[in-house]
Structure 1
Amino acid sequence: MTGSHEKNRRYWDASAPGWERLRDRDGLWQTCHENPEPAFEGRALETIRSLVGGLAGKDVCVIGSGDNYVAFALAGLGAKVTSTDISRGQLAVAESRASLLGLDIDFVRSDAAHLDSLPDQSFDLICSTNGFFTWIAEPALVLAEVHRLLRPGGFYVFYDVHPFQRPWQDQVGETRMDKPYWDTGPHGSKGDIPTVEFEWTVADLLNALAESGLRLKTIIESPAKDSRFWEGHSYEPGSHPELLDWKVNPRAGLPVWLTVAAQKAEA
């Protein structure tokens, strides 16, 4: 485990109870196994379905699973899901919730750059979701692991905040740059439990993907569907739809989500 990943693990373990309370407020964890669409952004579920087809019986791994909404959603669609995250605290919350929902999910604590406990060619589909790559010091290591774990012909699909959104200050209604696009970090926090974050460019992510041996299938750049993105909410509905208009909020004229699908070559 890298030094930055260890710092981030300590943060997420300490923060897990607070995030548990926050996710109880939106309550989506209770329904996404029956209604999977709200667990995804950026047309990611649509992309998975178009490439993989039916998920019943498919072996799926969610890396950096966090709140595990996507893991719950995929399990509800019939997939045999393995959920991996660096934080034991986050996984404990998810495992408790999965038990309440009657979902059979394997939970594995592991650094996404070193998934050594999982055997080669174990999965038909691997996913990562919003906020994953910002915690990753070396995307190439993660994508090499993804390639190792996929069966021939298997798919990796990720969606995340589009790198074009990263250079700006968080205010809406005006645009002011906070840093150059190419200043990818590391950026350290100054909280009680320090973290280390990265803001990778599109080129950083796609070059690492190519170097892993995965073959690019599709890229989707999407706007926000709900103003909650601009209001700082992960799942709760927004209340200011005017923020979706780029004339009111210029950053809405840039893509919010980057969704990428890649495939491991057939044997």
Structure 2
Amino acid sequence: METRGRRVGGKSTTREPIIQESEAAEEFEPEATRRRADVTESSRANRGWWDRNADEYQVEHGTFLGDDRFVWSPEGLDEVEAELLGPPEELKGKSVLEIGAGAAQCSRWLTAQGAHPVALDISHRQLQHALRIGGTFPLVCADAGALPFADGSFDLACSAYGALPFVADPVLVLTEVRRVLRPGGRFVFSVTHPIRWAFPDEPGPEGLSVSASYFDRTPYVEQDEEGHAVYVEHHRTIGDRVRDVVAAGFRLVDLVEPEWPSWNTSEWGGWSPLRGNLIPGTAVFVCERDLRD
């Protein structure tokens, strides 16, 4: 799962440190702003951000994610209970594309169910962590807007906060996913719940008051001293997301808004028990390609 939130936050874990060949911390403090960012700039910025920060991300969130769990969101929604891809016993033998795989925890869980996953991520460094943890499935470094697979290559696709929050053209990504799915295939993806864009990205009481227009689609951008984007996150309303799914040729079969469970006492950026018990933090879209296609 690759969700950063619009600011780095959350409590660090005691997970063992990983490969130390890259520096996760940036030498400058980027400027946060709201401005336009096209497909190319968004892709370049986010590839660089995840390559630079993958080590820190895995240290901070690796314990929560585990090595072989399928977690859809900071709320802790687990595919074991959710079965959004279908009953676990029906996953055996299925080919599955995981988009924005990070360290490929979801692909490891899928392998344990007898599925045949492929883990794809734009960040080479994230995939190095997937390689470090291990697995018998392919790892592919590629942009979700240009999937390097033939038409109809997969039975299922999934993305836990991967790619879609960070791309300027979500319909392009959704169309690519539909292309590589076989007729009848299912794609499930989770993103930050759009309502959260109206609130400050803070886990405490200061994050409970509306501070911006929900309808302002201007991307959140962090940029360097020369004005080049180093991180980009794009906002879509719920209606936008539904229209994107339909425009790409999918049928939306479910929209899940996970409630915050009582067992989860952790904070992850702006996600927290305080906020999670009052407003949704995640939206999970369950989409299918029609058998007739």
TM exceeding 0.5: yes
Cα 1:265–1:52 shift into 2, 3 Å: farther
Q: CA RMSD in A?
A: 2.8
In the alignment, structure 1 residue 153 sits paired with structure 2 residue 176: no
1:177 is aligned to: 210
2:41 is aligned to: 3
d(CA) in 2 for partners of 1:123, 1:224:
32
Query: Does the 8 Å CA contact 1:42/1:259 hold for their aligned counterparts?
Result: no
SS in 2 for 1:83: strand
Q: Paired residue for 2:239, among 199, 203, 217?
A: 203
Query: Does the 8 Å CA contact 1:59/1:80 hold for their aligned counterparts?
Result: yes
d(CA) in 2 for partners of 1:49, 1:19:
26
Cα 1:38–1:263 shift into 2, 3 Å: closer
Query: Does the 8 Å CA contact 1:135/1:196 hold for their aligned counterparts?
Result: yes
2:27 is aligned to: none
* Number of residue pairs the alignment of both structures matches: 246
Structure 1 unaligned blocks of 5 or more = none
TM superposition score normalised by structure 2: 0.74
1:1-267 → structure 2 map (5 Å cutoff): 2-24=40-62, 26=63, 28-30=65-67, 32=68, 36=69, 38=71, 41-42=76-77, 44-45=79-80, 46-50=82-86, 54-98=90-134, 103-115=135-147, 117-130=148-161, 132-169=163-200, 170-173=202-205, 175-190=208-223, 194-225=230-261, 231-232=267-268, 244=273, 249=274, 252-267=277-292
Instruction: Please tell me the residue identity of whatever aligns with 2:268.
Output: G
1:93 Cα deviation from its structure 2 partner: 1.3
1:209 Cα deviation from its structure 2 partner: 0.5
Query: Does the 8 Å CA contact 2:72/2:160 hold for their aligned counterparts?
Result: no
Cα 1:104–1:161 shift into 2, 3 Å: same
Structure richer in helix, relative to its length: 1
SS in 2 for 1:217: strand
Cα 1:148–1:227 shift into 2, 3 Å: same
Structure 2 unaligned blocks of 5 or more = 1-38
d(CA) in 1 for partners of 2:89, 2:44:
37
SS in 1 for 2:66: helix
1:138 Cα deviation from its structure 2 partner: 0.8
The percentage of counterpart residues that share the same residue type is 27
1:135 Cα deviation from its structure 2 partner: 0.9
1:134-156 alpha-carbon deviations (Å, 9 max, x no partner): 21111100000011010011100
Query: Does the 8 Å CA contact 1:135/1:197 hold for their aligned counterparts?
Result: yes
TM superposition score normalised by structure 1: 0.81
